[in-house]
Amino acid sequence: MLVGGLSDAQRRAVALARKLVRDELRRALPPFDWRLPSIRRRDVTPGARVEPVDLLDVGAAERDLGGWDFALVVTAADLRARFRPFALGTPSQALGVAVLSVARLDPSLRDATPDPDRLADRISTLALHELGHLNGLGHRDDPDDLMHDVRAAADLDGMRTYSAPEIEELTDELADVADPRMEERSGAQRLGSAAFTVRTLWSERADVGDAVRQIRPWRFPFQFSKLTTAAVSTLVILVMTAEAWDLGTRQPVGLVLTLSAAVLVIASVYLVRKQRLMVHRRSRRRSEQRVVAEASVLLAVGIGMATTYALLFVSTLALAGLLFDRAILEGWAATLGESIATGHIVVFASFVATIGLAVGALGASFEEQTYFRHVALVDEET
């Protein structure tokens, strides 16, 4: 647990909260040895509002350095929320880190009387809630459940325990976490980088899949306006241009498919680097956690780009069917040398989707970096 920017009273509350968290985890999940070291970081500073992704970077770096399974960053600053009025916490399963803010948890914000025990209870409840998210748990409707969807700080007061199914799910997940990591296994040091990465991804494929599902990358086209605007503008221009039809319908199927795959990969890697989605990595030491985190982020961005490609492809087919008859298309595809068929239209749709995706990736590179990283790394705003 990393703490920073806290007052003396808040630090005392966090210390008590650590004990409450440890006691609850030992009670609910006794097979595991729970240790919650606390480190004070002076770069986790107070302020009116901070970007959660900046603190996720701090937590990920400290987690790698300490060899921890998870890291919780506790700050007194308010977290900047992008999709809700405010955020009490922001988990990132891909990074194994969650950020918690005490800015809205102190009962004295609404009452004149300080209540340090209640503040500690809220911090511990929020920490247990985020730990559940880091291990793949979703929300529950029961207001007594630790995984109840938090809408206000007062909701934390009634959340007490994990349910029996959640404990079973956590036990299975944590048993996998507690296994020796790839770098700790016999013979791992003799593996080359490529072999180490492949073996890690195969062994931890379920964790990669869970992290990607938490990111929900299929929402990217609806969350990144510059990506969508650039891609759709390209589609409209190409669909309404005779020369584009003439060029696109003549392309060999194999060439278009190869170009589509290449653009998808290049666009994904370009955005990961351009938006610095892996900037938290300071050490080049090989580790299972690092491989899983980087693979999860890259795969999520790839799925987001693939979703954009699919939307462009379907939209092109729809527009072609709604707006143009075969006579117009054959006039536009003048050098095709044969009657235009459904196969030619499908090839053209792939051609348009490929060009649109490339331009869309350039547009996405102009998205505010902290916003892009927030969408790609933060699973939810608690």
More confident residue, 57 or 285: 57
Query: How far apart, in whole angstroms, are the C-alpha atoms of residue 164 and residue 187?
Result: 38
Query: How far apart, in whole angstroms, are the C-alpha atoms of residue 83 and residue 72?
Result: 22
pLDDT digits (tens, 9 = 90+) for 307-350: 999 999 999 999 998 988 888 888 888 887 788 889 999 999 99
pLDDT digits (tens, 9 = 90+) for 130-156: 999 999 899 999 999 999 999 888 899
b/e burial code for range 12-33 (CB count within 10 A of at least 16 → b): ebbebbbebbeebbeebeeebe
CA 210 to chain centre: 10
Of 33-37, 186-190, 320-324, 338-342, the least confident:
186-190
pLDDT, residue 114, reads 64
pLDDT, residue 35, reads 85
The segment(s) of the chain belonging to CATH 3.40.390.10 are 2-178
CA angle 372, 59, 96 (to 5 degrees): 75
**Tokens linked to 2:** 């990393």
Strand partners, 140: 148
pLDDT, residue 318, reads 95
pLDDT digits (tens, 9 = 90+) for 152-169: 888 999 999 999 999 999
**What DSSP letter does each residue of 264-313 carry, written as one string?**
HHHHHHHHHHHTTTTTT-------HHHHHHHHHHHHHHHHHHHHHHHHHH
CATH 3.40.390.10 fits 2-178, yes or no: yes
